[in-house]
Amino acid sequence: METGPEPLLTRIARALERLAPEEVQEADPAVATAMRWDGRHLLSVAPAATLPLSRFVAVEAQMMQLSRNLQSLARGGPAHDMLLWGARGMGKSALVRSLAEGHGIALVETAAMGLESLPRLFPRLAQAPGPFLIFVDDLAFESGDPALRQLRSLLDGGVARRPDHCRLAVTSNHRHLIADSPPSDTRSLRDSRDDALALVDRFGMVLGFHPASQEEYLAMCRTYLAAEGLPLDEAEALAFALARGGRSGRTAFHYLVECLTRRAQPPA
């Protein structure tokens, strides 16, 4: 049986070590190309896989505008904050990632709930050469969410100056950034819509991504399959989209994976 104070002190010290938070290795924004901001720490992450720009079909106009804006940012010129809104699965997030990588822009991802902490992030990024794209993916607000006004303040400049080489890219499946459960009070609903529209107006670039037509969806499938040396069975591709409940670039990619999976099966 242990006696004396030393064993007890040892157990206390070990317990405190377990309770103490692990030391976080902060990313160096001068060298990292993909980072995540969690509200307190800037973390280096492995870059997400990107698609060649030739794989994006039916969004060429949006891609051209976005690329021109990011090219200016990459060269140290003026650039807009960007809102990409519209149908799910039409390549909004994938296009941001591919173009940022293509133009050599470091991507800093943050969740919508972390918007209020961005003024603490900007001084860290200001000390690095950049440029940086602050990426907020799949944004939607509940009515009355204070993050709505917080983002509007950030886009307006607010009290804390944002570095010139930092711009925001926001994606949303909602044109007005309001979730599908509006308030029952008509006046409250009107105020919420007005707030959302006021926010949209503060983005210098607003790009809409619309649902794919049947012809566009088949063109997406054909592009994906051709890159793998596979022919397109139009009837099968359309049946796959029908079973998935819609036509989009994401559905076309999933159809490609289905075809590749079948090709990889050994013959019976």
Residue 145 resides in a domain: yes
Residue 7 resides in a domain: no
Residues 48 and 166 in one domain: yes
pTM for this one?
0.82
Domain containing 155 — which CATH number?
Answer: 3.40.50.300
Q: What is the pLDDT of residue 59?
A: 96
**Cβ contact 86:175 at 8 Å:** yes
In order of 133, 175, 176, 258, the CA distances from 197 in angstroms are 23, 9, 6, 40
Residue 168 resides in a domain: yes
Residue 95 resides in a domain: yes
Can you give the residue range of the structural domain that contains 222? 214-264
Q: Tell me the per-residue pLDDT of 179-204, one tens digit each, with 9 for 90 and over.
A: 555 555 565 556 556 666 777 888 99
Q: What is the pLDDT of residue 6?
A: 62
Residue 62 resides in a domain: yes
DSSP for 126-176?
Answer: HTS---EEEEE-S--B-TT-HHHHHHHHHHH--SSPPPTTEEEEEEES-TT
Torsion, CA 147, CA 149, CA 151, CA 155, rounded to 10: 180
Residues 110 and 67 in one domain: yes
Q: What is the pLDDT of residue 227?
A: 95
Residues 161 and 251 in one domain: no
Structural domain count, the chain: 2
Q: What is the pLDDT of residue 194?
A: 64
Q: What is the pLDDT of residue 139?
A: 82
Q: What is the pLDDT of residue 222?
A: 98
Residues 139 and 156 in one domain: yes
Residue 14 resides in a domain: no
Residues 118 and 244 in one domain: no
Q: What is the pLDDT of residue 189?
A: 55
Q: What is the pLDDT of residue 234?
A: 97
Residues 181 and 248 in one domain: no
Residues 77 and 186 in one domain: yes
Angle in degrees, CA 71, 77, 80, rounded to 5? 70
In order of 19, 32, 162, the CA distances from 126 in angstroms are 34, 14, 8
Strand partners, 7: none
Instruction: Give which of 119, 131, 34 is closest to 77, Cα–Cα.
Output: 131
Residue 28 resides in a domain: no
Which residues of the chain have a pLDDT value below 70?
A: 1-9, 13-24, 141-147, 157-160, 175-196, 268
Residues 228 and 184 in one domain: no
Q: What is the pLDDT of residue 159?
A: 55
**Quick one: DSSP state of residue 180?**
S
